[in-house]
Every structure is written in C-alpha cells, then in structure tokens.
C-alpha cells in the first residue's frame, strides 16, 4: 500500500492525538501480507504481517530493507496545553492562595492549643479520660456522662487546667533548681 500512513504523531495532553506534518514526503509505504503455517497434525495457523520501509530523512529505503511491524515517532508535551494557557493571576490564586494556605495550616503551631500540648503534669486529666473509658466498658453510662462533662468543664477553663496540671513556670524553676544542684 503506497503512502499509507504518516510516522510522526504528536501526543498532546488532550484526548485526540494530532499529526505533526501531513506532507507527502512523510508518507510511508506499508506492506500487509497474510501468512499460513501447517502445524503437526494438519492444523493450519493463519496470521497477518505488517511491514514498512525503513524510515530515512531522505525518504523510504528500497523494498529489500523493510522493517517488521510498523514504526512511528511520537512527541509528548511536558506541560499540558491547558496549564500553559493560564494567566499569572490564575497561577497566583491556585499556588499562593490555595496550596500556600494548606501548607501554612500544616506548618503553623496552633496558639490556641499550646496550653493543651504543653501541660507539665497531665496525669490528673489522663485519669479522668481513663475513667470515662472504664465506665464505657462497664456499660455505666451515667458515670461515663458525668466524667465526660467534668472533663469538658475543665477543658473550657485554662485556669482550672493550670491548677490541676501545675504551672509551666514552676516546671522551669524546678528544672533550673535541679540543674543547679547537679553542678
């Protein structure tokens, strides 16, 4: 089959591939042949072979130097066309505001949770949490609810938390005293 296909295809990030050049000098000849082979026992296997001339910058090479199969070149884009068409404002909105706010939320330390994360002695609160769990396991729902509301009342008041878990300043002073005694 003369001038059957173009061996150069562009694969954009869209759905349909595009031919790069439809010039007649890029058209290649392909050869389709039906082959048969007799197998043991008289069975016949039939298949089709597709070959083409070797590709050359100057055109196809003689028929004696055909390749098996069909070969073509593809070009794939590293950046999709739709991303390249965005404006700088769109880039700013997506990257700086969208992704930046997510990264900021992940990295920043919540100042509203410092008193929870930096408790010097959380043992009393842990006992209340364990009491809630034990009450739940024993199916004592009244006691579980009572302990739960006690815990909620404590967590609503930073002053009560400070009284129960002691002060961070006392912890620093005690560490300074202990370090002074060791030296």
Specify the pTM: 0.38
Going from N- to C-terminal start, the domains of the chain cover 8-77, 79-108, 110-168
SS3 67: strand
pLDDT tens by residue, 67-119:
556 666 666 666 555 655 667 777 778 777 888 888 887 777 666 677 777 78
pLDDT tens sequence across 131-141: 999 999 999 99
Q: 52: exposed, middle or buried (C-beta count within 10 Å: 0-12, 13-18, 19+)? A: buried
Asked if the model's pLDDT at residue 55 lies above 90, the reply is no
């Amino acid at each position: 089959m003369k001038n059957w296909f173009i061996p150069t295809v562009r694969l954009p990030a869209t759905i349909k591939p595009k031919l790069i050049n439809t010039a007649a000098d890029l058209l290649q000849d392909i050869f389709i042949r039906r082959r048969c082979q007799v197998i043991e026992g008289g069975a016949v296997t039939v298949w089709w072979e597709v070959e083409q001339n070797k590709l050359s910058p100057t055109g196809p090479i003689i028929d004696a130097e055909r390749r098996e199969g069909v070969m073509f070149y593809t070009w794939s884009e590293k950046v999709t066309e739709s991303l390249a068409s965005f404006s700088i404002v769109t880039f700013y909105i997506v990257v700086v505001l969208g992704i930046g706010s997510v990264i900021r939320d992940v990295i920043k330390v919540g100042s509203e949770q410092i008193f929870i994360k930096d408790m010097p002695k959380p043992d009393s609160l842990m006992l209340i949490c364990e009491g809630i769990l034990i009450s739940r396991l024993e199916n004592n729902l009244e006691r579980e609810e009572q302990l739960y509301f006690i815990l909620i009342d404590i967590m609503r008041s930073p002053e009560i938390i400070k009284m129960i878990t002691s002060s961070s300043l006392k912890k620093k002073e005690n560490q300074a005293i202990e370090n002074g005694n060791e030296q």
